[in-house]
Structure 1
Amino acid sequence: MYSQVIAGTYFTSKDDQTVQVGENTLICIDEQGQIVRIISDREPEFHSVRQTAADQNNLLQLAANERLLPGFVDLHIHAPQWAQAGLALDRSLNDWLNTYTFPLEAKFADDQFALTVYSSLVQTLLANGTTTALMFGTIYNSSNLILAQQAAKFGLRALIGKVAMDDPTQTPEYYRDESATEALKATREFIESMLKLQQQTRTTLMPVITPRFIPSCTNELLQGLGELAKQYDLPIQSHCSESDWEDQYVQERFGQRDAEVFDHFGLLTDQAVMAHGTQLTDGDLSLFRQRQAAVAHCPISNVYFGNAVFPTRKALQAGNQIGLGSDISGGFSPSLYRNMQQAVMSSQLLTDGVNNEMDSTKRGVPDSRISMKTAFYLATKGGAQALNLPVGAIEVGKQADFQVVKLTPALTAESIDDEFERLLYQAERNSISWVMVGGEMVYQNQEGHR
């Protein structure tokens, strides 16, 4: 009757303020890996469906201390930078890029090095509950395709971009596209190769138009990338108003703000995901809403390089699309649990302010705090909506992208709301029992009971 049935209690976001709880339910999955029915224990068919699944060896019964969550959607990962995660985060953005990051990414001309790093990254993401990832590759198509192949091999939903960067004033000679023409040619070749690989592997690989950020791209390249995005109807990813330096650089060069420049070149669309946005103004956010573009909020990375706290609550209340990104390696952790926690902490810092020499009534931005329920939405449903993908929620019609997480033993009686909050604050990688993508088991904790 069903390909698989999962029995247990689940948490999923209904909206950015509300978490839906399904206690003692059956999640029914078809052969295409789609959720086709959710049955509560109050429904007449509950016991018969459960028994049939058990008889057919298609029942996955969660333990009493396990909970089912949607797989996480990470909206911003620099895949090659996994090799330097946690390094040099005390440097300025410009110094970090030129001294550490560009030299590292240049090493990905070596396919064997790329294979080692990307195999590790993909498996690590899955082990941390991330099932969909929007990723920057490098300027090298060969290693970018290795990243895609590793994603297909291990079952990660992957949206991958060939990084385009050709401006000789802002990129090193040893690591940049030779010209806008060459960058556009290589981008087109990567798109075609990815679409072919998608058909061959029958996986959800997707090419993404990827200008690194405006400072690294000439006008000709930005114009051409916008045209490619339109021609192929593809997602777009970049950085937007991510720091004081970058925000000011764009204004000096164009006399316009980041968002306006991206819009001018056809790169701010309903398929665009722009990372960081700590310097976005109300006018910028309004333009994002008009174009239905999304922001990838990267709370850990923003502490190091953003020069401000992204106003998550304000943007959500205004109707902006927001998801969560780890920003490996500007963010040191591949875990969206850590990033959810930081998102809540950063929002409180924005509310209170941080300069104790200022009057307490003036140092913060009132009512900026978000809850863990909101952070959970960003990591799941918010990210899925940003990518226009049927994932990120435990709902009929969505793909069966799940993680099963063990509860930390409670010392006192808890409500289901308390249980949810403690789970998200205390979960670690070893708390995750198994991970499923499209109904296929892609990770099992070897220390777990399965």
Structure 2
Amino acid sequence: MNQYMHLFQGTAFSSKSPKEIQILKDYLFCINTDGMIEKIIAPEDADYQPLLDTYQGTNNFHQLAEGQYFLPGFVDLHVHAPQWAQSGTALDIPLYDWLNTYTFPLESKFSDLDFAKKVYDDVVSTLLANGTTTALYFATVHKEASLLLAEICATKGQRGLVGKVVMDDPEQNPENYRDADTPTALADTEEFIIAVQELAKSTKQGVYPVVTPRFIPSCTDEGLQGLGALAAKYDTYVQSHCSESDWAHGYVQDRYNKNDAFALHDFGLLRDKSVMAHSNFLDDQDVDLFAQTGTAIAHCPISNAYFANSVIPVAHFQSKGVEIGLGSDISGGFSPSLFDNIRQAVMSSRMLEDGVNPSLSAQDRGVPGSRITIHEAFYLATAGGGESLSLPIGRIQENYVWDVQIIDTKCPSAKLPIFNDNEDLDDVFQKMMYLVRPENIREVWVQGDKVHSR
């Protein structure tokens, strides 16, 4: 019989398709030394009892208590790690003012590595405690602090995809917070890529460098061109903001006479490893371009409520074959929890479908066919994020990594309202989606290692 690093027993929920979850009731999950799910065994399988007999009572065996369940770890496709220090503040002013008055001055402080360490240690730990096992991070323009964030992810056991931000246009960025010039921005990015790829060799769960033009308004044409070339040379991930708000979308139209998506594509920045945050104002040609290039969207529903001037038509974009996952967008989004973003994704989609202006008649008020279900929003936070990054994450199935959250529905300080011992498991799943708080997340595992417990 195979020697497994860990054997887990319990009930798990995982996406079968965007609209449908799979419930694996009392299954065994066999985890190998690489942290991969080598085998999943149903109670009726012949191997089930012999394996239980072999592993029960050993340190490698983990049995869930009554009221506990496995969920896949969440994949957060858009986090501004430095902005954790301002989360929950200044959300009531327009995007342009918010960036210049609050965000850029804060991010400029990350030239101080002691300050950077304090914030980055805390944001990685906080995200893990909220069930986020993989995060796609914007850092700052500072090469050293950005590398420090990748090192913290490696040490704490989170799968981190980290970008040193490029802001090289002296016209568009504040004097005290930008790259020195375009050649420096590109040289720093290349050195950062090489350093993170080196760090990745000794990191079990993986860390990845990400080419990160902040967005078109902060970069020169030469900078964008150079970043596209670096992404191709080192085959890296790419991230940026795309058509987030009326202001950002209009700025690119004025500068290039084309939409963000086509401008980014012309610089070589739309590729299978690209994730574009927000993307609220894409038209159908933009969406087709995303689908053709394999570019994914990081949907940030809480942040969009504050800064995007719109609700993104997720259902429409998905119907056109674009990969979509969820992002918290700390700190444009105040919450570090993808549970909160799952809930908001559903609520925003329903507001788009039904409309929000009560002075219009019902049939003129909304956009039909826009709503998504809680099952679909869960898919975005898990399997959709995994597909967006082309990694074997976000599902509990064979040949995927063991990235899981163990949810305790009976946690005394945050007990879920489950009063029937034989409650329908799909109902239990929905209650978890709507009601879980960090206290319910008892353990978090990444790549077969426990990285958080309470």
TM-score (norm 2): 0.97
CA distance in 2, matches of 1:141, 1:194: 11
In the TM superposition, what is the alpha-carbon distance from 1:411 to its structure 2 partner? 3.4
Deviations, residues 208-249 of structure 1 (Å, cap 9, x unaligned): 000000000000000000000000001100000000000000
Deviations, residues 37-78 of structure 1 (Å, cap 9, x unaligned): 101111122111112112432111001100101100000000
Deviations, residues 226-276 of structure 1 (Å, cap 9, x unaligned): 000000001100000000000000000000100000110000111100000
Aligned to 2:449: 440
Q: Is the 8 A contact 1:2 1:53 kept in 2?
A: no
Aligned to 1:257: 259
Aligned to 2:418: 410
1:271-310 equivalence runs, <5 A: 271-310=273-312
Deviates more, 1:201-210 or 1:268-277: 201-210
The structure 2 residue matched to 1:197, chosen from 196, 199, 204, is 199
In the TM superposition, what is the alpha-carbon distance from 1:357 to its structure 2 partner? 1.4
TM-score (norm 1): 0.98
Aligned to 2:61: 59
CA distance in 2, matches of 1:192, 1:213: 23
Deviations, residues 416-440 of structure 1 (Å, cap 9, x unaligned): 1111111110000000010000100
- Gaps spanning 5+ residues in structure 2: where? 410-415
Aligned to 1:327: 329
Aligned to 2:115: 113
Q: Is the 8 A contact 2:108 2:176 kept in 1?
A: yes
Aligned to 2:338: 336
Aligned to 2:413: none
Aligned to 1:349: 351
CA distance in 2, matches of 1:57, 1:120: 30
Q: Is the 8 A contact 1:151 1:157 kept in 2?
A: yes
Q: Is the 8 A contact 2:237 2:273 kept in 1?
A: yes
Aligned to 2:429: 420
- Counterpart AA for 1:312: V
In the TM superposition, what is the alpha-carbon distance from 1:203 to its structure 2 partner? 4.5
In the TM superposition, what is the alpha-carbon distance from 1:199 to its structure 2 partner? 2.0
Q: Is the 8 A contact 1:84 1:329 kept in 2?
A: yes
- Counterpart AA for 1:34: M
Q: Is the 8 A contact 2:205 2:447 kept in 1?
A: no
Aligned to 2:16: 14
CA distance in 2, matches of 1:285, 1:349: 22
- Counterpart AA for 1:289: A
CA distance in 2, matches of 1:202, 1:294: 25
In the TM superposition, what is the alpha-carbon distance from 1:354 to its structure 2 partner? 0.7
Deviations, residues 7-51 of structure 1 (Å, cap 9, x unaligned): 000000011111000001001000110001101111122111112
Task: Report whether the alignment pairs 1:430 with 2:432.
Answer: no
CA distance in 2, matches of 1:295, 1:393: 19
- Counterpart AA for 1:148: A
Q: Is the 8 A contact 1:326 1:333 kept in 2?
A: yes
Deviations, residues 248-306 of structure 1 (Å, cap 9, x unaligned): 00000000100000110000111100000111111111110111110000000000001
In the TM superposition, what is the alpha-carbon distance from 1:202 to its structure 2 partner? 4.6
Aligned to 1:34: 36
Deviations, residues 106-139 of structure 1 (Å, cap 9, x unaligned): 0000000000000001100100000000000101
Q: Is the 8 A contact 1:170 1:215 kept in 2?
A: yes
Deviations, residues 142-162 of structure 1 (Å, cap 9, x unaligned): 111111111111100000000
Aligned to 1:448: none
1:359-438 equivalence runs, <5 A: 359-407=361-409, 408-411=416-419, 414-438=423-447
In the TM superposition, what is the alpha-carbon distance from 1:414 to its structure 2 partner? 2.9
CA distance in 2, matches of 1:395, 1:200: 25
CA distance in 1, matches of 2:36, 2:277: 30
- Counterpart AA for 1:285: V
Aligned to 1:240: 242
Query: Closer, same or farther in 2 for the Cα pair 1:441/1:241, shift >3 Å?
Result: same
CA distance in 1, matches of 2:447, 2:349: 33
Q: Is the 8 A contact 2:204 2:447 kept in 1?
A: no
CA distance in 1, matches of 2:194, 2:122: 26
Aligned to 2:151: 149
- Counterpart AA for 1:425: Y
Aligned to 1:100: 102
Q: CA RMSD in A?
A: 1.0
Q: Secondary structure at the match of 1:369?
A: coil
Q: Is the 8 A contact 1:171 1:216 kept in 2?
A: yes
Deviations, residues 324-345 of structure 1 (Å, cap 9, x unaligned): 0000000000100000000000
Q: Is the 8 A contact 1:6 1:26 kept in 2?
A: yes
Q: Is the 8 A contact 2:79 2:327 kept in 1?
A: yes
Aligned to 1:5: 7
Deviates more, 1:283-292 or 1:223-232: 283-292
Deviations, residues 396-416 of structure 1 (Å, cap 9, x unaligned): 000111110112141356321
In the TM superposition, what is the alpha-carbon distance from 1:141 to its structure 2 partner? 1.1
Aligned to 1:221: 223
- Gaps spanning 5+ residues in structure 1: where? 446-450
In the TM superposition, what is the alpha-carbon distance from 1:319 to its structure 2 partner? 1.1
- Counterpart AA for 2:444: V
Q: Secondary structure at the match of 1:362?
A: helix
Q: Secondary structure at the match of 2:11?
A: strand
CA distance in 2, matches of 1:286, 1:302: 22
